[in-house]
A and B are shown apart, each in its own frame.
Chain A
Amino acid sequence: MELRKNYFADVRKDDLHEIGQPRPRSDSPGHVTGKTAFFADRNFPGMLHLKMVRSPHHHARIRSIDTSEAEKHPGVVKVLTAKDVPHNVYTILILIQIGPEDETVLADGKVRWKGEAVVAVLAETERAAQEAAAKVKVDYEVLPAVFDMEEALKPGAPLVNEYHGQNYYLYDSGACRKVRFGDVEAGFAGADHILEQSYQSSPIEHAPTETTGCVVMPEGNDRFTCYTNTQAMFFTLDNTSIILQMPGSKLHFVGGTVGGGFGGKVDVIVEPIAILGAKLTGRPVSFIYSREEEMQISSPRAAEKVVIKDGVMKDGRIIARKVTGYTDAGAYSRHSPYGAQKGAGHYPGPYTIPNVWIDTYCVYTNRTPSSAMRGFGVTIGDFALEVQMDKLARLIGMDPLEFRFINAYRDGDMKAHRQPTEGAALIECMQEASRAANWPVAEKYMAMSSYKNGA
């Protein structure tokens, strides 16, 4: 890695003592000696193991659940169903007033995705829990499922989540978050070329080497200590407090080093049910996702669809951009309404375009609920935007890098969401990339600056 100190030297103090210094990491000695304590490195005598019975169907009504055989299985201490969870219907972003509550901790009457948690089994050993889980009988009536966002938005599509009443998240602005800037239709009318293209992505797994999980210890004084690899301690504590209808003062969350997060450990999934198990049995409880669960049950990065329509001039200026973004939340909200909203704030990308129209939808389908991942709300949008930029450049016969210089935002430029640009540095990144990759661009672009009064 090279630091190019010649850029922005006029606005930066480089004489600090500790900042800017490549100090050794304080956690690394623990890592290389195996002494770093991850949550699962705590093992308590008498600890129970929790295994989840999961839905084999994408969408089904639950006619009945029979746990009697499982309860009799040797080693089983407790079997939990929806009725055991004090506040079973929840949503994590309720803490920042993004409702409604739309997800069950344990399925109640219905499952909405393949893999949904239905019954929790707590046993003396993992094996006993697995064997008992296999004995839980759930009678399902399979319902039609929908896996495609556009299908889900059509009238007559199977309703995924009754708590929403329709297959999209209802923002205060309606079915989508909107950004309106300038007059996009007038922009298209005046454009030399129009290009409308559609981009799609698949769900992506965070795949941290350490799976999601927690270990809960009853402290004997009505308090519960939960050793967890959550990415957000109080977020988890406060949601657990709601779900278990338990004062937050009874909960003690201890994190530490997390074996990779990438956004995959911000859902509040394992802690509430494990703490409930510890509360009802008085025993320590371990609930750790298997690798298979981490890969297929934990929330992935959402599948997205992005449709971009651009009006571009022969001289390289983009004069109108309309973006319609669809985020596949799967069956439940989790963080997806926030992610779709974040997309609305990100488009039309780091370019100054006078006429912009943005609609971003958060859509419910019977796919695995998605949630945050590194670059949430932006990563797939950037794929779409930057491939579109390449296509536009080729459409008008212009070098793709030079085309970006023409449209790059600079300090003071008004963004579509009506904030003036501050602290821009796209131009300088492109200039340095031009040099590093031996991809020459015209001198006038190398002379540009992101500063307001720059060339």
Chain B
Amino acid sequence: MAIRRGRGVAAINYPTGMNLGGDPTQALVHSTPTGNFMVTLSSVDLGQGMKQIMAQICAETIGVPTDRVVVDTADTDTGPHCMGTFASRGTHRAGNAVIQAAKEARQVMLEVAAEELEVNASDLETDGQGNILVKGAPQKSISIFDVALSAHFKRGRSISGRGMFLIPRSYPEKETGAMKPSTCYAHACTVAEVEVDDETGEVTVLTVKNVFEIGRALNPKMVEQQLVGGSWMGISHALYETTEPYYPNRDNGGTDFNQYLMPGPGDLAETEIIVLERPSADGPYGAKGPGEMCANPQIPAVANAVFDAVGVRIDTLPITPERILRALKAQAAS
């Protein structure tokens, strides 16, 4: 018996948003009488935390703490249209729509504040804590709470805004394929280290070092959630997952979580995540979509590490113990 070690690398990029564009998302923002802000969307939170991120984006843009923003979403009676949550588009598309809506609301808010403070709106700034200050004279200020009250009950102004983000659809040129698939790309490089049991074909992923470039990490802890979970899924895809384990025979597909294989809590690789941030030109605060691409580089990195360990190439996913063992036997026979 020999446990053999190997390591492999892979580097990838990934487009943000629906390919070729043409995928609009809208947002509405309005303030309550006491200066809380409501973001209205129809986008769906799949568990990645879109509601939280939209709240942070709105808060940053308006100039209030995040806990003063409420996100109402996924209701077609109240929320304006969104193409949907897929293709790493949620943060990028909806985030831009929220910024646009929040900016419009902010402008009204500053205009009301300007009237209250008897200055020009262009001379005002927010402190991020819920106050509006005169630039260069911060002692002259008004709270957003008071501005909202004034707007509602004194000045009859609606502190609200509309946002729409659309990347115009690109139509590929028939013969050359000239097209614009995406406006920004995330990047990653992963190094995986594995052990392969050359008598059974079993693979243990010892470590994965993932470097991701994702534009801007809008909420680093939530980015970490995506990247850690994605890295696990990448390894799972590489070594375990299939609905047709014996294709072209289509029998014996898993129908439960015992048979449909994924790494368990006792199979976890030591996982390191490093994040670089090159803000995208058109993302909300420079964000790109990290949710999909974070599960991609581990697959080839693990495949390359298996080759490095035992000298056989498995070019069909998943890289099961059976495929490795068959390849090792073929290698020994030749």
Contact = CB atoms under 8 A, between A and B. Distances in A.
A377 B304 contact: no
Contacts of A8: 276-279
A7 B322 CA distance: 43
Given A255-B75, A256-B74, A346 B181 contact: yes
B178 A437 contact: no
A148 B293 CA distance: 28
A437 B299 CA distance: 17
A417 B286 contact: no
B27 interface: no
Contact of A386 (B81, B245, B276, B301): B301
A204 interface: yes
A88 to B, nearest CB: 24
Interface stretch (B11-19, B103-111, B148-156, B194-202): B11-19
Chain A interface category by residue count: 35 or more
A52 to B, nearest CB: 15
A350 B19 contact: no
B121 interface: no
Nearest to A252: B77
Interface in B33-62: 42-47, 49, 51-52, 55-57, 59-60
B180 interface: yes
Contacts, number: 405
Contact of B86 (A237, A346, A372, A382): A372
B319 to A, nearest CB: 10
Interface string B291-321: 1110111011101100100000101111000
A235 B89 CA distance: 15
Interface string B79-122: 10111111100000000000000000000000000000000000
Contact of B42 (A3, A203, A234): A234
B235 interface: no
B274 A436 contact: yes
A390 B307 contact: yes
A387 B304 contact: yes
A442 interface: no
Nearest to A231: B85
A36 B316 CA distance: 40
Contacts of B43: 233
Contacts of A258: 44-47
A416 B293 CA distance: 21
Contacts of B227: 1
Given A200-B317, A303-B247, A428-B278, 6 more contacts: A8-B277, A177-B172, A260-B46, A374-B233, A379-B292, A390-B9
Interface of B: 7-15, 19-20, 22, 42-47, 49, 51-52, 55-57, 59-60, 63, 65-66, 71, 73-77, 79, 81-87, 128-129, 169, 172, 174-182, 184-185, 187-191, 193, 209, 211-213, 216-224, 227-228, 230, 233, 237-238, 241-245, 247-248, 250, 253-257, 260, 262, 272-281, 285-286, 291-293, 295-297, 299-301, 303-304, 307, 313, 315-318
17 contacts: A1-B220, A7-B213, A16-B285, A17-B63, A25-B49, A25-B222, A203-B242, A253-B76, A256-B45, A258-B45, A342-B19, A346-B15, A382-B297, A383-B296, A418-B176, A429-B213, A433-B191
Interface of A: 1-5, 7-8, 11-12, 16-23, 25-27, 58, 96, 114, 147-148, 172-174, 177-181, 197-205, 207, 230-235, 237, 251-263, 265-266, 291-292, 295-296, 300, 303, 338, 341-342, 344-346, 349-350, 358, 367-368, 372, 374-380, 382-387, 389-391, 400-401, 404, 408-409, 416-419, 422-426, 428-430, 432-433, 436-437, 439, 450
